[in-house]
Amino acid sequence: MSNTAVPQKSFRQRLASGEHLVGTFLKTPTIHATEIIGALGFDFVVIDEEHAPFDRTAMDLALFAARAVGTAGLVRVASADPARLLSVLDLGATGVLVPHVASAAQARAAAAACRYRGGKRGYSGSPRSAGYGAGKMWATIDANDAATTVIAQIEDPEALDEIDAIATVDGIDALFIGRGDLTCAMGAAKNDAPEVRDAVDRIAAAARRAGKPVAVFVGGLAEATWLKERGATAFVVSSDQGFLRRAAAQALDEIAALGKGAA
């Protein structure tokens, strides 16, 4: 029997191959949520710079914790500004979730900002992503380009007009269906209204034609089942705040009920 270790697939490779992946949003700027979630066996976390109070120091610590527990650390950036994308990738993010990608031009710009070869990512050998100066420049560049995951969040109605062009952009690894913003922008009654379902189907079909995986946010099993049937393979389930609220509400209800019984 050979003692040669089988190299582990990167998160980007696992995503591209259609593995069933489970992650969650991180909304609280501490290392502890990342540590707990990763230790439970979640495949990835998404640090939410867009809608939560993460500054660069907090993201640095959360990404450190993700590495410590062996889970992929993605960042949903606040914008597609190249400087912001560079910042989180230098911190060692496995990849980025780029919000409001509404055109192929925006998708190409985001992909280019995250890649060295053929792209526009600025190089430094000093950050975590480069091993704090431990590696050779071109080896570091190739390793980062191979591992960095770029996911385009489709959440604007106008993106549907260019969805096939967006999906085929080289360097965009997956499409994330942003049902919340689509629902809001469409004025739909809820996030599974007919017009939202139609948008989901159009995005999923474009991803399928381009050979790209689909990622989604889900509140629970029912939504996950519906979206898996549409081709989704990467699921962002709730958030650290959502898990805390649910568990706290359950504990409160159970223990408060003892007092009601005594009365």
How many angstroms separate the CA atoms of 258 and 263, rounded?
9
A 10 A CB-CB count for 249 gives 10
How many angstroms separate the CA atoms of 34 and 161, rounded?
37
What's the per-residue H, E or C state across 73-84? EEEECCCCCHHH
How many angstroms separate the CA atoms of 159 and 165, rounded?
10
Q: Which of 20, 32, 51, 100 is flagged as catalytic?
A: 51
20 has catalytic annotation: no
How many angstroms separate the CA atoms of 121 and 207, rounded?
25
For the chain, the maximum distance between any two Cα atoms, rounded to a whole number of angstroms, is: 72
Beta strands in 87-145 (DSSP E): 95-98
Residue where the block lists tokens 């549907």? 160
Question: At 230, phi and psi to the nearest 5?
Answer: -90, 0
The contacts of residue 18 (CB under 8 Å, 6+ apart) are 213, 233
A 10 A CB-CB count for 162 gives 18
Bridge partners (DSSP) of residue 95 are 74, 149
Q: Which residues are catalytic?
A: 51
